[in-house]
Amino acid sequence: MSNSTHKVGFVSLGCPKALVDSERILTQLKIDGYDIVPSYEDADVVVVNTCGFIDSAKQESLDAIGEALNENGKVIVTGCMGKDSEEITKIHPGVLAVSGPQAYEEVVGAVHEFVPAPTNHNPLIDLVPPQGVKLTPRHYAYLKISEGCNHSCSFCIIPDLRGKLVSRPIGDVLEEAERLVKAGVRELLVISQDTSAYGVDTKYRTGFWNGRPVKARMQELCETLAEFGIWVRLHYVYPYPHVDNVIPLMAEGKLLPYLDIPFQHGSPSILKAMKRPAAAEKSLERIAAWRAICPDITLRSTFIVGFPGETDDDFEVLLDFLDEAQLDRVGCFQYSPVDGARANDLPNHVPEALKQERWDRFMALQQQISTAKLQAKIGKTIEILIDTVDEEGAVGRSTADAPEIDGKVYLDGVVDLQPGDFVEAVVESADEYDLWAGPGPEPAKPE
């Protein structure tokens, strides 16, 4: 371990919202004069930002805490799993402190307590960049617009972990977005637990940005973010009627034509048992209406198979929904009990083998849909944001692809680019999830 007393190691687990929490903590630690180091042996203390959403995520968090204790010995725990400190200290009694999600001051205070801040730090000389410490590549960043959630989905404990919806003031959101853009960010990924509910808790209170009034509501937020002239991608959007208002912005090229919407199921009875806020038939109508306005819109979603009480008929309804919706990007999870979730008490839990069988059938159907959609892009010219470049070529993403969760676009042999560059290329081939593109003539326009 280093003899310095101002070095912090950091392990960030979980979703993009937790990643933003990590960035806030790291930014404050840098402001306070700490160095952030990439190895256990160089750190004087290690902070582990945990995930507590499902059992596998909890186990990953516990394993990470154990590893940090073994490798370093001084560990501070925060994040969603930290909401139940006894669960952590029972297994790892050696941790120094435990705090829950969004407990930025507590985490920084614990670091100060166990590794006192340097006394010779001059914040006027040792400047932190205006955009703060980011854990994403320089050319894209997550923009968190709210905390918590007002829904009470029976399979979810997010409101218990992160509380009810609390929207950030729109002036703060836009100022952060402006700082990120000035720092070179080319893509903003708007995230929250429920992006379409932004401002509900504040009655859409008007704020100010650059001296002008802006209402804290999804439509006005999107309209203003569109002014930056970069890619703006919306995640975690519930299919409420007012979401229709942002589709014209996508059709006009002001927002990326992309919506990440967690439909979760297609059977009305299962959606009711899940306590989901949207009806499947209304969702299908809304999808058709969106595509009528913006034919190029990409729709991503997640689903759960094997939810308690899911019958063969329910599952067939789900497959019918998937077939009719023709979604572009889909993730599917087998239902897993989460401590504290009300769904655990529902009757008729689905056997594990049947969950696996249904998952296999679901993914096979979606793979067919995805393959057909990507094959239809061959010969078309697409815009690509470059993520990485090496001696073999460049790898980027199209407007249809969010980082980490969607597909990639490979430009083999193209090495004269930099991460963050925008390029246009012609799609030459595709598989189930990814595209290969290269220079070529514009596709012929139909007569």
Instruction: Name the residue type at position 213.
Output: P
DSSP single-letter state for residue 264: B
Q: Backbone phi, then psi, for 377, in 5-degree steps?
A: -85, -10
- Residues in Cβ contact with 260 at an 8 Å cutoff, skipping those fewer than 6 apart: 233, 234, 235, 236, 237, 300, 301, 402
Residue type at 80 in one-letter notation: C
Q: What is the DSSP string of 31-43?
A: HTTPEEESSTTT-
Any known ligand binding at 153?
A: yes
Is 294 known as a binding-site position?
no
192 close to 205: Cβ distance less than 8 angstroms:
no
> How deeply is 424 buried, as exposed, middle or buried, from its count of CB atoms within 10 A (0-12, 13-18, 19+)?
exposed
d(CA 281, CA 306) in angstroms, rounded, equals 21
Which of 181, 158, 150 minimizes the C-alpha distance to 15? 158
Any residues with CB less than 8 A from the CB of 127 and at least 6 apart, and which? none
Map tokens 């073994």 to a residue: 70
CA angle 158, 163, 166 (to 5 degrees): 115
User: Is 51 marked within a binding site?
Assistant: yes
- Give the whole-angstrom CA distance, residue 72 versus residue 238: 42
**Any binding-site annotation on 222?**
no
**Is there a binding annotation on residue 332?**
no
Annotated binding site: 15, 51, 80, 149, 153, 156
Annotated binding site for [4Fe-4S] cluster: 15, 51, 80, 149, 153, 156
